[in-house]
Every structure is written in C-alpha cells, then in structure tokens.
Amino acid sequence: MAYSTTTELKNLTGTALTDQVLSDIIAQADRIIDAKLRKAGITSANSDDLKMVSLEYAIAGLFTRYRLDGTKPSSLSLGDLSMSDTIDAAIARHLDNGDKLLNDIIKGKRSYRQIVRVVNKC
C-alpha cells in the first residue's frame, strides 16, 4: 500500500502527468522509505508521518522526471539567450526534507536501554 496518493501529488504540484506515471514515482519513493525503515529495524510508523516523507520524495522524483524528459531542464540556451533554473536545488531540497522527516521518525521509534554496571567495592 502506498503511503501517499496520486491525487495528493497532483494537488501539491499541479502536475498533468498520468496517474500511472505518478504511481510509479510514488512507488519508488515508498521503496526508499521502506528500505531505510528496514535498515533501522523499524516495522511500523505513523501513517501521516510516512505520507509526508513519501510526498517529499515523490516531489523530488517528479522534478527528476521533468529534468530527465526535458520538461524542466536545469538550463536552456537559444542563440544569445540563456536561462537557468534551480531544478537541481529543488530536487535536493525535497530529498533533504524527506531524509530529515524520516530520520526523526526513526529516532522517535527506537528504544534505547541504558545499561548500568554496578561494581561492588567492599
């Protein structure tokens, strides 16, 4: 089950890509989340928290798709005219936001036991 939906991704970004393409982007975002949770030994987390992470990674995936298919290149030159965009910075920002949210989830789910050793000096 996906952590976020194509409708949510469309509403946040205004994208016109098909639901199938967006589902694939969300699925990849969710695989990243699942891999990181598995590595941390986390088997469950709050669904709203995971939705936020999923959407951050999915937006980064959407922007990556736009960059790779030429919809939103990082720079464009036409004769003497040159334009650049911050698509790479936007991708990095959304990945970083997702990582921070996911790290907070992982830190909050881990339980730490402090082991105290008592030495008798009699």
Report yes or no on 15 lying in a domain: yes
pLDDT at 56: 97
Q: Is the pLDDT of residue 113 over 50?
A: no
pLDDT at 84: 67
pLDDT at 117: 53
Supply the pTM of this predicted model: 0.81
Report yes or no on 63 lying in a domain: yes
Q: How many CB atoms lie within 10 A of CB 29?
A: 27
Nearest to 69 by CA among 10, 16, 5, 6: 16
- The number of distinct structural domains making up the chain is 1
Helix, coil or strand: residue 105: helix
Range of the domain at 26: 6-109
Report yes or no on 121 lying in a domain: no
User: What's 57's DSSP letter?
Assistant: H
pLDDT in tens, 36-93: 999 999 988 999 999 999 999 999 999 999 989 888 867 666 777 766 678 888 999 9
Report yes or no on 70 lying in a domain: yes
Report yes or no on 116 lying in a domain: no
pLDDT at 105: 93
Q: Region 17-26: what's the mean pLDDT? A: 97
Report yes or no on 29 lying in a domain: yes
